């Protein structure tokens, strides 16, 4: 064909002009010639008459051309072929030739026999295989067609019919006449022919010329050497004729696409032949009849799938492409279609419909400015798609027709990996090893994508990975999920149920699918396909069309990016998104006023949040995280394969990670602390709690750690499920590793930490440092606290959160791990249950753990708000009884209201536990410690000398103070506190550690029934008193005797007696001030006064007490003079004893006087001597 000026100059613009004006030709290619001639007779009778006359005139049928390197020896043309026949008379007919008569009779209807063109049309289009026609007839036909293209008569017809067209087309006007170049040139430029008569003529000649490559003028010269090298002309004469239609071109086309898929070009095709091959494919793009190889390969499939599709404008091609992977499609046709698609990938102009639809858009979007650019790059389908996709993403107008064509070809690229030569070339090893047999419907591509994202033990080569990324960018499935057929089919049911409110093809469909990832609506196959695609989309921010649309201006302004398909960006695509989210979240914490120009737009920030939300689903969707943490993932998290476990694993091993990975994980965790909604899996799991308790903070546009704080506070609500509780606890544990991971704490205390606790990183250490500073300032009553008010408030929140789970306090958790496994193996960590278990098993704890628990209790008793269990169990009671009480006096308030009828039983039980704990050591009772700070060293120093700082004194100091209380030697403040303790322990023996320790066996033996009572009202103490004579253990007996001694000091210490004598106290001792045994003395005097009648129960109890005291006095004599004096003063017979003592003293005095006079007289007598 005459490519002369067009291909030599490479004028791409002129070539584009031709594409749009192609006319429909299929109707003429397949229809019989007679109706065509009849129709033409009406319109252009003169043209047809000349054409028919020329076709039916005697034609010189020369011998076949001299056989060259590409020609094989053939039989001598028979006489029937006309090789040696003289010129025939006017009216020579093909039907009359003996070589074709049999074939003509068998294949063509009689009415076509009189017209040579109709016979030619019939014979070359209707036979199913080349061997159907005799070789001699085949030679005859080819010689006839060759002469038609070179016959001066046909050329003269062309000059007559296309006179004005030839004048307009410079290349054809300059062609040499008489060699067939003129007709070939007109066929070459048929897309630019507007003259109707000329168009009809050229259409018919096109079908003739395209039936054999040797009839295409110039093609033979350009590709002769390549045909020979590739042996595309070496066809056995016995099977197919050397001039078989389209086979040589098909062979060259396959070689061309194969060359692009091979790294080492063994037999490279010359550039001019490559251009000629693509040009021929381009010229046959509108009518599939013109691609002879494909036409014969797909004729049956066309009838099967595209019977109602009218030929022309590439419609049959598109129809066959759409059915390429149907089971009924023949392999022969599928191969031919794949070859043509590969040619389209190399030159989009081989697709008539695409070139025509996008011609004007290519000009408008300046996609072909450089006319000197090699045809290869500019003509590639990927270049066209990238250029026009860039325009669409930027919001520039691209016609709907062009976008429709782009969609078809983007889908085509995703369906068949073999259409991308880079994939075939660079991913061959992976395909053969792991993805063989998955060729259809994009499954091979998704297999490669799955390997690329690391779902299998092996990973793809970096060059293959790059080729996959390039293909994804060219196909741009993020803009329309339907492009990815494998994804579309896998997720169809999910889309119909979960995303039915979104318009089909909308980019938000992918976001919708991501939002439903790992939910009940998601199916496994869809989940895999979706993650495989998102892995590549996440590595180039431009592949998310919504993100790109909303953030392109921000990216250009803040991250210095260029256009959608530019490759000269200052930042790699993955770094652009990192830049965007830094500007979205990090400006506030830099401690400076943010320049408005450095802020992201609101729409962009919303999209950045959406992407972060999606990336939190899977670590592989975060390119930076996967890149830096690949080694650590394999080392620490190889078994953590469930949803979300990999990131949790990395966070748990934060200290063990390499520095690069540690920084990335740290930054991500810090970001989550600011906006926990980024963690989509956690938010989804916590939806019930959020809706019930945290909906106010969840609805905020900007989350500054409030939502996580709310979740922690409501961690043990009934709406909290296990998944949410585990996720919240995990985040709390991770926060302990670095104070920066607690956004609100970081923002409130950042300056305080830098000033007071420099070089401390762990949150628990920072909290201890700051809380110690606050405590010291409070104790020293400084005028101005060193820790700021906002930090103190947040510090309180952090301390309360840490008290909920022992794991949040590493200094406590680490020493107690072995004790936890030994003593509390089945106890839950949350709700402070594990801490409570350790407290209850305190005596069995290891020394280190015991020491830590003691310190914890000491802190909790001084600040009851940090006692999580107490505050949780007694929450309602605190609201009822202690609303006005100071936070540090909450426990004291609860103790005072413990016996109220309105007190909740569970809270009462918890208060009792805390009282038992307090009574084990005075240091655990801050009020007592303060009140008795002078008495304790004065009376109990010997006990203090033996004490350890971190272990309980088991109530020894309090027991010591009790005895001094009985002796009435304590200071008033201390006496008041001891009285309270005595009153409490008199009602419940468990509150007396010494009694419980020494008398546990006796209680079990003598008072088991009383001890088993749910409500303790002093029954056990009364039982021990009554059974004092039966007690065998001396230590227990001593404790009971001390108890009796204490009861003499105050009647309130003896609840049984006090209850029995309540009315008598009111009647007879109402004016007596309680304390120091005064009311007890009043009752004793009333008992001795015969005029006073006491209640029988009171009288009986008093008499029992007198007997017990008498026995106690015998069994336990006074330890010293002071003890004796106390006993005398507290004795009911005090007056009698004092009178006796006074009489004794008087007697002694008188005796002394008398003895003194005698002594004096004796002494004088001695002196006188």
CA distances from 658 to 59, 632, 634, 887 (A): 86, 7, 13, 45
Query: First CA to last CA across the chain, in angstroms?
Result: 178
pLDDT digits (tens, 9 = 90+) for 1102-1113: 888 888 887 777
pLDDT digits (tens, 9 = 90+) for 453-493: 875 456 788 899 889 998 998 899 999 999 999 999 999 99
DSSP symbols for 552-604: HHHHHHHS----TT-S--SS-HHHHHHHHHHHHHSGGGGSSPPPGGGSPPHHH
Backbone dihedral angles phi then psi of residue 1045, each to the nearest 5 degrees: -60, -40
Question: Would you give the DSSP letter of residue 481?
Answer: G
CA distances from 900 to 197, 344, 638, 988 (A): 113, 90, 58, 16
pLDDT digits (tens, 9 = 90+) for 633-668: 888 888 877 777 888 889 988 989 999 999 999 988
CB-based contacts of 176, cutoff 8 Å, min separation 6: none
Question: How high is the pLDDT of residue 1125?
Answer: 64
Q: How far apart are CA 425 and CA 429, in angstroms?
A: 9
Q: How far apart are CA 250 and CA 1006, in angstroms?
A: 110
The mean pLDDT of 134-141, rounded to a whole number, is: 74
Return the structure tokens found at 198: 């000329």
Decide if 991 contacts 915 (C-beta within 8 A). Answer: yes
Decide if 181 contacts 217 (C-beta within 8 A). Answer: yes
126 Rama class: left (phi>0) / alpha (psi -120 to 50) / beta: alpha
Torsion sign over Cα 336, 338, 341, 345: negative
Model confidence band, residue 1163 (pLDDT cutoffs 50, 70, 90): low
pLDDT digits (tens, 9 = 90+) for 673-696: 888 888 888 888 898 999 999 988
Cα 819 off chain centre by? 37
> Can you give the three-state secondary structure of 207-270, one letter per residue?
HHHCCCHHHCCCHHHHHHHHHHHCCCCCCCCCCCCCCCCCHHHHHHHHHHHHHHCCCCCCCCCC
Decide if 541 contacts 547 (C-beta within 8 A). Answer: yes
| Percent above pLDDT 70 for the chain | 79
The mean pLDDT of 576-587, rounded to a whole number, is: 77
pLDDT digits (tens, 9 = 90+) for 820-865: 999 999 998 888 899 999 999 988 999 999 999 999 999 999 889 9
pTM: 0.67
Decide if 674 contacts 656 (C-beta within 8 A). Answer: no
Question: Would you give the DSSP letter of residue 67?
Answer: P
Spell out the alpha helix ranges (H) of 1012-1132. 1019-1026, 1034-1049, 1055-1060, 1062-1068, 1078-1088, 1096-1115, 1121-1130
Of 98, 82, 225, 233, nearest to 146 by C-alpha is 82
The mean pLDDT of 15-28, rounded to a whole number, is: 30
Of 496, 525, 488, nearest to 414 by C-alpha is 488
- Burial class (CB within 10 angstroms; exposed 0-12, middle 13-18, buried 19+) of 718: exposed
Is residue 567 over pLDDT 50? Answer: no
CA distances from 1057 to 986, 1027, 1080, 1100, 1111 (A): 11, 16, 10, 10, 18
Highest mean pLDDT among 330-334, 579-583, 736-740: 330-334
- Burial class (CB within 10 angstroms; exposed 0-12, middle 13-18, buried 19+) of 147: middle
Return the structure tokens found at 134: 């005799």
The mean pLDDT of 193-222, rounded to a whole number, is: 69
Is residue 42 over pLDDT 90? Answer: no
Question: Would you give the DSSP letter of residue 62?
Answer: P
Question: How high is the pLDDT of residue 571?
Answer: 57
- Identify the H or E element spanning 53: helix 33-56
pLDDT digits (tens, 9 = 90+) for 66-111: 333 333 333 333 333 333 333 343 467 777 788 887 877 888 887 7
| Percent above pLDDT 90 for the chain | 21
Greater confidence, 1052 or 315? 315
- Burial class (CB within 10 angstroms; exposed 0-12, middle 13-18, buried 19+) of 436: exposed
- The total number of residues shown for the chain amounts to 1169
Question: How high is the pLDDT of residue 240?
Answer: 42
Model confidence band, residue 399 (pLDDT cutoffs 50, 70, 90): very high
Question: How high is the pLDDT of residue 3?
Answer: 34
Return the structure tokens found at 1120: 């010293």
Question: How high is the pLDDT of residue 378?
Answer: 54
Question: How high is the pLDDT of residue 849?
Answer: 93
pLDDT digits (tens, 9 = 90+) for 234-293: 433 333 444 454 777 888 888 888 888 876 666 788 888 888 888 888 878 888 888 878
Return the structure tokens found at 1054: 């003896």
Question: How high is the pLDDT of residue 566?
Answer: 56
Highest mean pLDDT among 141-145, 565-569, 606-610: 606-610
The mean pLDDT of 977-992, rounded to a whole number, is: 88
Of 891, 899, 889, 936, nearest to 917 by C-alpha is 891
The mean pLDDT of 1119-1143, rounded to a whole number, is: 66
Q: Nearest 10 degrees: CA dihedral of 81, 86, 88, 93? A: 0
Is residue 12 over pLDDT 70? Answer: no
Of 599, 485, 472, nearest to 542 by C-alpha is 472
Model confidence band, residue 6 (pLDDT cutoffs 50, 70, 90): very low
Mean of per-residue pLDDT scores for the chain: 79
Q: Comparing 226-230, 414-418, 443-447, 1061-1065, which segment has the lowest mean pLDDT? A: 226-230
Q: How far apart are CA 711 and CA 725, in angstroms?
A: 9
644 Rama class: left (phi>0) / alpha (psi -120 to 50) / beta: left
Question: How high is the pLDDT of residue 69?
Answer: 31
DSSP symbols for 1031-1065: ---HHHHHHHHHHHHHHHH-GGG-HHHHHHTHHHH
Rounded CA Rg of the chain? 52
Highest mean pLDDT among 82-86, 573-577, 1034-1038: 1034-1038
Question: How high is the pLDDT of residue 906?
Answer: 93
């Amino acid at each position: 064909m005459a490519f002369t000026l067009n291909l030599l100059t490479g004028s791409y613009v002129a070539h584009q002009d031709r594409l749009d004006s192609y006319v429909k030709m299929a109707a003429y290619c397949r229809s019989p010639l007679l109706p065509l001639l009849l129709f033409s007779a009406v319109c252009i009778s003169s043209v047809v008459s000349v054409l028919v006359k020329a076709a039916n005139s005697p034609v010189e049928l020369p011998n076949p051309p001299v056989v060259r390197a590409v020609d094989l020896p053939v039989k001598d043309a028979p006489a029937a072929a006309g090789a040696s026949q003289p010129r025939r008379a006017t009216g020579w007919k093909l039907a009359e030739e003996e070589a074709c008569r049999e074939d003509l009779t068998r294949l063509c209807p009689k009415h076509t026999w009189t017209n040579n063109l109709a016979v030619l049309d019939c014979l070359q289009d209707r036979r199913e295989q080349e061997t159907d026609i005799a070789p001699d007839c085949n030679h005859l036909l080819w010689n006839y067609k060759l002469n038609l293209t070179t016959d001066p008569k046909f050329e003269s017809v062309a000059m007559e019919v296309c006179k004005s067209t030839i004048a307009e087309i410079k290349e054809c006007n300059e062609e040499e006449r008489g060699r067939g170049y003129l007709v070939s040139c007109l066929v070459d430029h048929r897309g630019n022919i507007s003259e109707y008569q000329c168009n009809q003529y050229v259409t018919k000649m096109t079908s003739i010329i395209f039936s054999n490559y040797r009839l295409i003028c110039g093609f033979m010269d350009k590709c002769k050497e390549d045909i020979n090298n590739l042996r595309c002309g070496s066809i056995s004469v016995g099977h197919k004729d050397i001039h078989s239609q389209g086979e040589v071109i098909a062979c060259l086309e396959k070689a061309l696409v194969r060359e692009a898929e091979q790294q080492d070009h063994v037999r490279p095709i010359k550039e001019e032949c490559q251009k000629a091959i693509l040009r021929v494919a381009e010229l046959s793009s509108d009518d599939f009849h013109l691609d002879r190889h494909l036409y014969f390969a797909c004729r049956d499939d066309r009838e099967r799938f595209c019977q109602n599709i009218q030929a022309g404008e590439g419609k049959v091609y598109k129809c066959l492409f759409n059915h390429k992977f149907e089971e009924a499609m023949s392999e022969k046709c599928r191969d031919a279609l794949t070859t043509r698609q590969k040619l389209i990938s190399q030159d989009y102009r081989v697709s008539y419909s695409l070139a025509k639809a996008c011609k004007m858009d290519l000009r408008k979007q300046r996609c072909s400015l450089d006319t000197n650019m090699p045809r290869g790059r500019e003509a590639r389908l990927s270049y066209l798609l990238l250029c026009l996709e860039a325009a669409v993403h930027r919001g520039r107008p691209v016609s709907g027709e062009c976008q429709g064509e782009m969609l078809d070809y983007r889908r085509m690229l995703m369906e068949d990996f073999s259409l991308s030569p880079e994939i075939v070339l660079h991913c061959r090893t992976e395909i053969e090893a792991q993805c063989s047999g998955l060729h259809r419907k994009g499954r091979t591509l998704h297999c490669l994508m799955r390997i690329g994202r690391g779902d299998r033990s092996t990973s793809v080569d970096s060059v293959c990975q790059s080729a996959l990324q390039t293909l994804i960018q060219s196909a741009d499935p993020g803009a329309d999920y339907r492009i990815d057929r494998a994804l579309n089919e896998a997720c169809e049911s999910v889309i119909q149920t979960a995303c039915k409110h979104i318009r089909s093809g909308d980019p938000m469909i992918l976001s919708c699918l991501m939002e439903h990832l790992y939910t009940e609506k998601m199916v496994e196959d869809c989940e895999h396909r979706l993650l495989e695609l998102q892995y590549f989309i996440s590595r180039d921010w431009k592949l998310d069309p919504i993100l790109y649309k909303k953030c392109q201006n921000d990216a250009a302004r803040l991250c210095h990016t260029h256009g959608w398909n530019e490759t000269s960006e200052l930042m790699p695509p993955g770094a652009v998104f990192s830049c965007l989210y830094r500007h979205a979240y990090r400006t506030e914490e830099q401690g400076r006023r943010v320049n408005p120009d450095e802020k992201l737009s609101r729409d962009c920030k919303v999209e950045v949040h959406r992407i972060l939300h999606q990336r939190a689903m899977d670590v592989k969707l975060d390119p930076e995280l996967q890149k830096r943490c690949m080694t650590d993932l394999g080392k620490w998290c190889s078994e953590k394969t469930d949803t979300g476990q990999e990131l949790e694993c990395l966070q748990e091993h934060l200290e063990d990670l390499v520095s690069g990975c540690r920084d990335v994980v740290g930054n991500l965790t810090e970001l989550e602390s600011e906006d926990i909604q980024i963690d989509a899996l956690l938010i989804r799991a916590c939806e019930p709690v959020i809706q019930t308790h945290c909906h106010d903070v969840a609805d905020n546009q900007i989350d500054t750690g409030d939502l996580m704080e709310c979740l922690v506070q409501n961690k043990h609500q009934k709406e909290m499920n296990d998944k949410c509780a585990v996720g919240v606890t995990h985040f709390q544990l991770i926060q302990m590793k670095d104070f920066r991971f607690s956004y609100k704490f970081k923002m409130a205390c950042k300056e305080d930490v830098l000033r007071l606790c420099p070089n401390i990183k762990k949150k628990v250490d920072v909290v201890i440092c700051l809380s110690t500073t606050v405590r010291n300032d409070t104790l020293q009553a400084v005028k101005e606290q060193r820790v700021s008010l906002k930090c103190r408030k947040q510090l309180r929140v952090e301390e309360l959160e840490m008290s909920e789970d022992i794991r949040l306090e590493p200094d406590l958790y680490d020493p107690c791990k072995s004790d936890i496994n030994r003593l509390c193996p089945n106890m839950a960590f949350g709700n402070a249950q594990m801490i409570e278990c350790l407290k209850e098993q305190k005596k069995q704890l290891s020394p280190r753990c015991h020491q830590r628990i003691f310190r914890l209790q000491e802190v909790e008793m001084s600040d009851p708000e940090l006692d999580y269990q107490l505050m949780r169990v007694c929450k309602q009671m605190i609201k009822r009884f202690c609303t006005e009480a100071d936070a540090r006096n909450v426990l004291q308030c609860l103790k005072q209201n413990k016996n109220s009828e309105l007190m909740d039983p569970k809270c009462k039980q918890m208060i009792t536990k805390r009282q038992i704990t307090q009574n084990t050591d005075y240091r655990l009772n801050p009020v007592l410690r303060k009140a008795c700070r002078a008495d304790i060293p004065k009376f109990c120093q010997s006990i203090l000398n033996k004490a350890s700082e971190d272990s309980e004194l088991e109530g020894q100091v309090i027991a010591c103070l009790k005895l001094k209380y009985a002796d009435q030697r304590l200071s008033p403040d201390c006496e008041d506190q001891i009285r309270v303790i005595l009153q409490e322990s008199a009602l419940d023996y468990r509150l007396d550690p010494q009694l419980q320790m020494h008398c546990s066996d006796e209680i079990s033996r003598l008072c088991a029934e009383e001890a088993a009572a749910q409500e303790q009202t002093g029954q056990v103490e009364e039982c021990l008193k009554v059974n004092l004579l039966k007690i065998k253990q001396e230590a227990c007996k001593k404790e009971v005797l001390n108890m009796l001694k204490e009861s003499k000091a105050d009647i309130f210490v003896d609840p049984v007696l006090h209850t029995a004598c309540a009315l008598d106290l009111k009647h007879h001792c109402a004016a007596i001030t309680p304390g120091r045994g005064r009311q007890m003395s009043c009752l004793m005097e009333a008992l001795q006064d015969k005029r006073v009648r006491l209640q029988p129960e009171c009288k009986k109890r008093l008499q029992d007490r007198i007997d017990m005291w008498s026995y106690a006095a015998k069994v336990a004599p006074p330890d010293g003079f002071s003890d004796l004096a106390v006993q005398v003063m507290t004795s009911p017979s005090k007056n009698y004893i004092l009178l006796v003592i006074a009489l004794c003293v008087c007697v002694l005095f008188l005796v002394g006087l008398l003895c003194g006079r005698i002594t004096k007289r004796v002494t004088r007598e001695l002196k006188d001597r």
